[in-house]
Every structure is written in structure tokens, then in C-alpha cells.
Amino acid sequence: MLPPLLKPLIPILSLLSLVTGLSCLALEGKPNVLLICVDDLRPELNSFGANYIKSPNIDKLAAQGRPFHRHYVQAPTCGASRYTLLTGKYGPSHNGALYIRSQKIEHPSFPAWFRKNGYFSVSVGKVSHHPGGRGGSNWNESDKPEMPESWDRHLLPAGPWQHPRGAMHGLANGEIRKNAKNMDVYQAFDGPDTAYPDGLITKQALHQLDELDKLADKKPFFLAVGIIRPHLPFGAPLQYVEPYLKAKLPPTPHPLKPSGKTTWHGSGEFMKYNRWKRNPNTDADFALEVRRHYAGCVTYVDALVGRILDKLDQLKLRDDTIIILWGDHGWHLGEHAIWGKHALFEESLRSPLIISYPRIPQPGKPTHSIVETLDVFPTVCELAGLKIPAYVDGRSLMPILRNPKEKGHPAISYGKKGTTTIRTRNHRLISHQDGAFELYDHRTPDAETKNLAEDQPNLVMQLKKTLSERLNSKE
């Protein structure tokens, strides 16, 4: 109990407490930014509820920051999703989105905005659509950048994979995908981390951290590191796959092909690889092996992320750095009889997002508020003390960083053939260009397997109106 003489000071003390709490969110000076992008990473991490996955390094980052358990991407494909992350804007739904932008730059990108504000910007690995951020037949032509005016350095150490295109789908020891049917869909090689392209990407990222720490003018840095795994083919060093080879995994929810009009597809990206004439939709043992190798790739990624974060600590940069770990979209492992992305179901669109920075309130407390990839650019601007550009389509997540129980907002996504979707707290509406709708209620066990559109036309129209207004307001 407070002494009587202090009771009149309670309002003042409360105000001071609030101001102090808010000031802890703004880092002194210009903090560094470390953006880690992971390809095809569904929220299959221990810290996101998958207790059968070994992900200690990402889990530690989640415990030090804010894990967003209901983060949704704008598009279920690499190029379009990364377009949104790197521009802060809605965009085309296909993988050529960044090249369209490169022909006509209307606004500075996420890294370009920081570069314009005094940052030294570096990308390593797959940050934009192509590893290394360039075009051409082998994705290595310097006069064809995917993100013009964005990077002081953009790097991809190809090693024995010869070029970025070779590294993108590379298997152990320099195996390059030429005809996918001749490349195994999964692999576990008994060798070091550098037997796969991500090992070299991580090694270069560590070197860049050393170099950035030595910048003569002590500029703050914006370092983006793009890890390719667990993208197909599911190849990883044996040490990471081995713990799963006899592991029991939980059953796949809703494994049957949906009926009616949906965004279901035949998993062409997966099926074109050598599968030893096996189909995971009809062969339960094979489906389990695929899932085990995906899990091994996730643990491999986790080890590489840990190495990057350890280097940050060794250089004593953690207290001056905002860290973002972002998955570019989800991935189906048999849900709805899909093995891949490209659908507008939950599994394609939900991915992990973690934001960590010094003195974050309630570190480790997850939020279940709905947010979007669009929101990352403005959030990092506000955290770094930079003006949020007027042209970005997202909104800052600072209220949720202050308080994980703060409300989020509906998430908008889009796919092929003019399909669009909105995800609210309880529902998902998918709108097809021909006027058909899918409405799903996530409060029921049926989730996204029972279309309720005909039963609830008023809710369909309400959600359709919100969806249209959001997309039309950004044109």
C-alpha cells in the first residue's frame, strides 16, 4: 500500500509509467535491421504449436520477440508474396510481379526507403524471387536487377551449383535441376551444412555481418538474408532429417480433395519430381516420408538461423538491431489433397512472422491477432523512427507489439484467375471471378471443408463488400 503522502502522485506516476513504456519501443539512434526470409515455411515450428518439430533457435527468437500466430501473406506464391513484403503494396498475383515493378519504379522499396534514410543495404540469398536478385537465363545478369535502387550489395554464392538458378533447386554437392523428373523429391545427405546451397548462403551472411560491423562511417545496416529451404526438393543434411526418420507425426487434417468449386489444384510443382512412381494422396507411408523430410528441412533452416543470430550476438549487435523472421507463404502437406502452395486455403496463406527488438514489452507473448505481410514495412519504419511512406498499403503493428491482445484486421489475399479472399477472426470468404463464393467457418471442426455460402448469403455480401473496398481503395 502506498503511503498517504504519495497517493496524490498516482496519476502522475501512471502517466510517467505509460510514457516510459512507450519510449522503450523506440530505439535510440537508427537501429540495424535484420530481415530473414524463409521459403515455403508453414507455421510448423515448436514455438507455433508443432511440438513434434525441433526448432530451438527460432523458438528462442520467438521467446525474445513477438510471434504472430495469425499472419497471412498476400499471395500463395514466392514472387508475388515477396513483392508485397519488399514494396508494402498490393500487387500482381504471379511470380513476375517484381520484374513488372523493375520496368517502372513509382516508389522506393522497403530496403530502398531505408537506404534513402542513411542505411547500407545488403541482400544475401533468396530475398526477391530469384536468389541473388537478378534476371537472365541463369539469374545472374547484373543489368537485370529484380529490385533496382534497393541494394548496395546483392549476393548469391552459387558454389558448385554454378549460378543462382542452379542453387534454387539444388541438391547435395552441386546437383542442379535440369529435368525435374530426374531429381528426387526428397533427399538426406550425410554431409556438412555447406553440402546444400543454404549452407553457403548462411556462410556469406555471416561474412556480411562481419563486414557491416566494420563500416567506416558506422552506418546502420539493412541486411536481408533469404534461406531457400524448405522449398522443393526437400533436401537437407542427414543430421537434421535423421531425428524424424522414425518419428510419429500427427495425422493430416482434412486430407480429402474438396468437392465443388475451390482453388484446389493437382500439386504440379511437387508431382513433376521423381517420386519413385508413388503418390502421397494414395500412399500413406510415402506421405509420411515426405512430411518427415520437410520437417528435417525445417530443422536445417533453424540451425542456419541460429548461426546468424549467434553471429549478431558475438558482434554485440543484438541491442541495436530489429530482427524480423518471415515465411513467404504456407505449404500444404496433404491437407485438401494438395502438396504445395498456390491455393487460397489457410495452409497456403498462413506463415510464421516474428518481430524482435530490444526492450519489447511482454517478450515471448504470442499474438493471435490477424495481420498481413503488408504490415511489415510500415512497422519496421516506425520501430526505426523513420517516417512511414504515404504510398504503403499496410498499417503499423506497433499497437500489437505494445500489447499482444490488441486487435488486428482482416487479411486480404489473391490468387490466379482473379480469385480473392478475406480472412476474418472466424471466417474465410473466397470470391471467384465468375461470381461463385466459398464461405468457411473456422469455429467449426469442418473449417475449410464445408462451404456455407448458400446458407449465409448476407454474411457473404458483407465480407465481399469489405474485400472489394480494401482492394479498390489501393488502386
Question: What is the CATH number for 319?
Answer: 3.40.720.10
Residue 80, pLDDT > 90, answer: yes
Mean pLDDT (whole number) for 249-277: 97
How many other β-carbons are positioned within 10 Å of the β-carbon of residue 80? 26
Residue 9, pLDDT > 60, answer: no
Grid cell digits, residue 302: 533453424
Report which of residues 471 and 331 the model is more confident about.
Answer: 331
- Domain final residue pick, 359, 390, 409: 409
pLDDT of residue 1: 38
The answer to the question of residue 3 being in a domain is no
Asked whether residue 429 falls in the same domain as residue 395, the answer is no
Mean pLDDT (whole number) for 267-271: 98
What is the DSSP pairing of strand 339-340 with strand 32-38? unpaired
The answer to the question of residue 59 being in a domain is yes
Asked whether residue 69 falls in the same domain as residue 105, the answer is yes
DSSP secondary structure, 367-407, as one string: B-S-EEGGGHHHHHHHHHTPPPPTT--S---HHHHH-TTS-
The answer to the question of residue 14 being in a domain is no
- Domain final residue pick, 366, 388, 409: 409
Mean pLDDT (whole number) for 125-135: 96
Dihedral pair phi/psi, residue 60, rounded to 5°? -65, -40
Grid cell digits, residue 384: 526505426
Residue 143, pLDDT > 60, answer: yes
Mean pLDDT (whole number) for 388-411: 97
pLDDT of residue 99: 77
Mean pLDDT across the chain: 93
The answer to the question of residue 23 being in a domain is no
Residue 19, pLDDT > 90, answer: no
Asked whether residue 357 falls in the same domain as residue 444, the answer is no
Cα–Cα dist 451/434, whole Å: 17
Per residue in 314-328, pLDDT tens? 999 999 999 999 999
What range does the domain containing 401 cover? 29-409
Query: E strands of 117-180, at which residues?
Result: 120-125, 134-135, 141-145, 153-155
Asked whether residue 365 falls in the same domain as residue 475, the answer is no
Residue 75, pLDDT > 70, answer: yes
Mean pLDDT (whole number) for 459-469: 97
Asked whether residue 278 falls in the same domain as residue 199, the answer is yes
Residue 73, pLDDT > 90, answer: yes
Tell me which of 12-21, 160-169, 229-238, 430-439 is least confident.
12-21
Asked whether residue 229 falls in the same domain as residue 287, the answer is yes
Provide the number of structural domains found in the chain. Answer: 2
Asked whether residue 299 falls in the same domain as residue 448, the answer is no
Contacts of 17 (CB under 8 A, 6+ apart): none
Asked whether residue 283 falls in the same domain as residue 428, the answer is no
Per residue in 112-126, pLDDT tens? 999 999 999 999 999
The answer to the question of residue 18 being in a domain is no
Asked whether residue 459 falls in the same domain as residue 379, the answer is no
Mean pLDDT (whole number) for 10-16: 39
Residue 368, pLDDT > 90, answer: yes
Asked whether residue 107 falls in the same domain as residue 136, the answer is yes
Asked whether residue 357 falls in the same domain as residue 452, the answer is no
Residue 29, pLDDT > 90, answer: no
pLDDT of residue 23: 38
- Domain final residue pick, 368, 391, 409: 409
Asked whether residue 390 falls in the same domain as residue 435, the answer is no
Q: How confident is the model at residue 18 (pLDDT cuts 50, 70, 90)?
A: very low
Could you tell me the sign of the dihedral formed by the alpha carbons of 77, 302, 410, 266, in that order? positive
pLDDT of residue 216: 72
The answer to the question of residue 11 being in a domain is no
Residue 258, pLDDT > 70, answer: yes
The answer to the question of residue 158 being in a domain is yes
Q: How confident is the model at residue 28 (pLDDT cuts 50, 70, 90)?
A: low
8 A C-beta contact, residue 307 and residue 236: no
The answer to the question of residue 17 being in a domain is no
Q: How would you label 357-390 residue by residue, b for 16+ Cβ within 10 Å and e otherwise?
A: bbebeeebebbebbbbbbbbbbbbbbbbebebbe
Q: How confident is the model at residue 371 (pLDDT cuts 50, 70, 90)?
A: very high
Residues classed as catalytic: 78, 129
What is the DSSP pairing of strand 141-145 with strand 134-135? antiparallel
Q: How confident is the model at residue 27 (pLDDT cuts 50, 70, 90)?
A: low
Q: Report percent pLDDT > 70 for the chain.
A: 93
pLDDT of residue 2: 37
Residue 16, pLDDT > 70, answer: no
Cα–Cα dist 270/276, whole Å: 13
